Amino acid sequence: MSTYRQPELVLTDRHYTVPLDHARPDGETIELYGREVVARDKADRNDLPWLLYLEGGPGFGARRFIGPQAWLGRAVREFRVLLLDQRGTGRSTPANRQTLPLRGTPRGQAAYLAHFRADSIVKDCELIRRELTGGAPWTVLGQSFGGFCATHYLSTAPEGLATVLITGGLPSLGATADEVYRAAYPRILRKNEAHYARYPDDVERVRAIVAHLQERPAALPGGGTLTPEAFQSLGILLGTGQGTHQLHLLLEDAFVPTPAGPALSDAFLEAVRAQLSFAGHPLYAVLHEAIYAQGPGHGHGATDWAAERVRAEFPAFDAAKALTGDGPVMLTGESIHPWHFATDPALAPLRETAEHLAARADWAPLYDPARLAANEVPVAAAVYHDDMYVDTAHSLRTARTIRGLRTWVTDEFEHDGVRAGGPRVLDRLLALVRDEV
């Protein structure tokens, strides 16, 4: 283990070996990485309880903090923290276009990635907990998809949990992928309307960019293609606290004059590429719909590109149709489509793998409503009013199912409140589970 220091903190690199398939503990293994973080003035204490942080996603490694940023400063006041890179992410055994060919055919790659959902992640956590804490239960903080994992944890291994804190990540216990997106698109439309009300000049800016791309899809720096649909997916920014402002700043100087007429500037295309590329988190795209799948026994079948199919039910997102009138072109949000695997060079080699995952129907169930109804673990959840990424109604329905769960419903933050709100969100959730508010 390597130990080093940052402002006010001591950090230690930790590495773990876990089975790829927990049903075959003597079979193939993969490596996981976790970063232990403790306050410098508490580094020698052995009595600190552990807090495990599960990042959102799927497909993102744990956030890389420098010093006691955001919620971390509050956490290290009383916890020793483990920032876990979930399987396939960060410094854990990687799963991307470069490494997945080691698994053979696209079908073999898809079979491998079927072990990268919340069920496997929670089993990883339990192996790590028993090694790290000596068997003592720990507190879990789950952001977004990390909250999905925490809910699965409550369903399958509550004995490992002292407390659960969830931010923007209470999943529906039974909604199919189709139902998730059918609830999502109206929220995305509301975020668009709010953005255009705040920045009315962006209506014409977006229309001009989409019209240009309809005639001439743009090559992005470093590869990839910016099509109208790909450009529309910049709407994912609208689900974060500062996203509407970031989007406006990105749009305000998109064009430059050239001898051939107006063209999208290199600076604009580079900024778009940085927002849209999946090079750093390909599993987000490849596994995104699979996180909602629970098998035919629960009314679920194959996800079959649910976001793409359901989008057709919402003609407001038809950019070509919008350009025939004078209204705004609506941007999309947290949704993955087949064309992502044609326009992004980080995803293009994984197209067939993604097709196999979209066609898979024999997923295991993720949640146990009966066990959640008998829950005895203290749980608190921040539910963001009109969260663009996770449906508020779905979250509140789940909150009513989990015995003893306390909610904090707020419109002060968007989906990234646990980061944007500094220590306040974590402070509030800890107060809720301790009956201090």
Which of 357, 377, 364 is CA-nearest to residue 151? 377
* 8 Å CB contact between 150 and 54: yes
Neighbours of 172 (CB within 10 A): 20
| 172: annotated active-site residue | no
For 389, half-sphere exposure in the C-beta direction (CA atoms, 13 angstrom radius) is 28
What is the C-alpha separation between 207 and 218, in angstroms, rounded?
Answer: 15
Residues 6+ apart with CB under 8 A from 402: 151, 154, 372, 373, 375, 379
Go through the domains of the chain in sequence order and give each one's CATH number. Answer: 3-173+367-433 (3.40.50.1820), 177-359 (no CATH)
| 415: annotated active-site residue | yes
| Active-site residue, selected from the candidate residues 144, 155, 233, 277 | 144
Q: What is the pLDDT of residue 422?
A: 84
Classify 170 as helix, strand or coil.
coil
Q: What is the pLDDT of residue 378?
A: 98
What is the C-alpha separation between 294 and 301, in angstroms, rounded?
Answer: 8
Residues 196, 387, 334, 323, Cα dihedral to 10°: -20
Q: What is the pLDDT of residue 385?
A: 94
| Active-site residue, selected from the candidate residues 266, 362, 386, 411 | 362
| 362: annotated active-site residue | yes
| Backbone torsions φ then ψ of 348, nearest 5 degrees | -55, -40
Q: What is the pLDDT of residue 295?
A: 81
Burial 407-437 (b: 16+ CB within 10 A, else e): bbeeeebbbbbbbbbbbebbbbbbebbeeee
| Active-site residue, selected from the candidate residues 337, 340, 394, 415 | 415
The model's pLDDT over 2-61, given as tens digits with 9 standing for 90+, comes to: 999 999 999 999 999 999 999 999 999 999 999 999 999 999 999 999 999 999 999 999
Identify the burial level of 290 via C-beta atoms within 10 angstroms of its C-beta, where 0-12 means exposed, 13-18 middle and 19 or more buried: buried
Q: Which residues of the chain have pLDDT under 50?
A: none
* Beta pairing partners, 379: 164
Measure CA of the first residue to CA of the last residue in the chain; give whole Å: 40
What is the C-alpha separation between 52 and 60, in angstroms, rounded?
Answer: 15
The model's pLDDT over 186-217, given as tens digits with 9 standing for 90+, comes to: 999 999 999 999 999 999 999 999 999 999 99
